[in-house]
Amino acid sequence: MKKEKKLAIMLTAAIVICAAVIFALKPHAKSIGVEYTDQHNWMYYGAELADAGKKAGPSVGRAGRDVDVFFIAPTSTLDGTNADITDGKTRAAILNATNMEIGIYCDNALVYAPYYRMATLADYDKGGKELEDALDLAYIDVKTAFDHYLTDRNHDRPILLAGFSQGADMIYRLMEDEFTDEEMQQKLVAAYAIGWPCTQEMTEKYPQLRMAEAEDDTGVIVSFECESERLDDSLIVPKGVRMLSINPLNWTTTPEKADKELNRGFVYVDGSSYTVKSEIPNFCGGYIDETRGTLKVPELREDDYPSRLSFLKDGSYHIYDYQFFYRNLQENAAKRISAYWSR
């Protein structure tokens, strides 16, 4: 009886210890890395699509394409701290957001797009250190995925980086870390980092961050952020910050207004695939604001294009950055790829 009692006490103690260990580890579960050798953790994996990519409809990338696109998804999830990429609904939301933009690039390249534990909209609402910690974790995943891609899939092919919003932020971080040497810089077709600012201070600190100045220069960053004429402050570009931009209508960095006749098409994309549902040519013009460096879109009514996100002010057209100039970006990606091979 004593032996059984002693065994029961020992068993109870073991359970308590295990529970304590599990409890202690639980807050740090996100520190466990994502395994990017597993194609389940990729939306698109070149010509070999991961399972989620196959459900999206048309295949992305075809054999014989001699440029790779490494695409980093924008913020796509609402709650919690960092996206749970094991959750089916979360994965679907990230894939949907990716499909809204990937068609700009997929006709000209093989596409690689990882799932990553991105910061959530709730993280952006919190701001401060909590947001920075969430973004740091997101970048760990992005860098790990990119390193795997370089080692196992690139085979010295040219690379086009593409991302929007948080994805653009991740592109800058990736370029700061991974494109420091001449060999990597020579591989870069261009980096489409739209919806997040690159500043003069960043380019001075990291000389590899070179901004596009024309429609066909290569190894450069293409960036802009849309807003109404009256807006002078936003979470994306705070008051007092000047971002470096190029106008996607006339492909200049000067403040002259580009007329809407240059707009090849505002596009609505089916998020379940990457196919175009409808489009509006000659949709809007735009010019680069001399003070903020943002892309001002004067013809639109703010009420018709609400910001939709709690941390964005009325007059921020952030969520429409790709849509407003979809066809111009699509043509430009093809042009820069052609220019790369003509160097």
Residue ranges per structural domain of the chain: 35-341
Cα torsion 172, 221, 239, 119 to 10°: value is -30
**Lowest-confidence pick of 38-47, 61-70, 251-260, 319-328:** 61-70
Mean pLDDT of the 317-338 span? 96
**In whole angstroms, what is the distance from residue 138 CA to residue 130 CA?**
12
Q: How much of the chain is in helix, strand and coil states, percent to nearest 5? A: 40, 15, 45
- Tokens 């043509």 locate to 331
Please determine, for residue 89, whether its predicted confidence score (pLDDT) is greater than 90.
yes
What is the tens place of the pLDDT at every residue in 160-183? 999 999 999 999 999 999 999 999
**In this structure, are residues 99 and 272 in contact, taking their beta carbons and an 8 Å threshold?**
yes
Element (H, E) at 20: helix 2-25
pLDDT at 272: 85
The DSSP bridge partners found for residue 227 are 296, 316
pLDDT at 333: 95
Pick the residue with more confidence: 87 or 273? 87
pLDDT band at 309 (very low <50, low <70, confident <90, very high): confident
Measured CA to CA in angstroms, residue 123 lies from 54, 95, 96, 133, 340 at distances of 30, 20, 20, 9, 38
H-helix segments, 35-127: 51-55, 88-102, 121-126
pLDDT band at 19 (very low <50, low <70, confident <90, very high): very low
pLDDT at 30: 59
pLDDT at 1: 43
- Burial tier of 201 (Cβ tally within 10 Å: 0-12, 13-18, 19+): exposed
**In this structure, are residues 96 and 90 in contact, taking their beta carbons and an 8 Å threshold?**
no
What is the tens place of the pLDDT at every residue in 95-126? 999 999 998 988 778 999 999 999 999 999 99
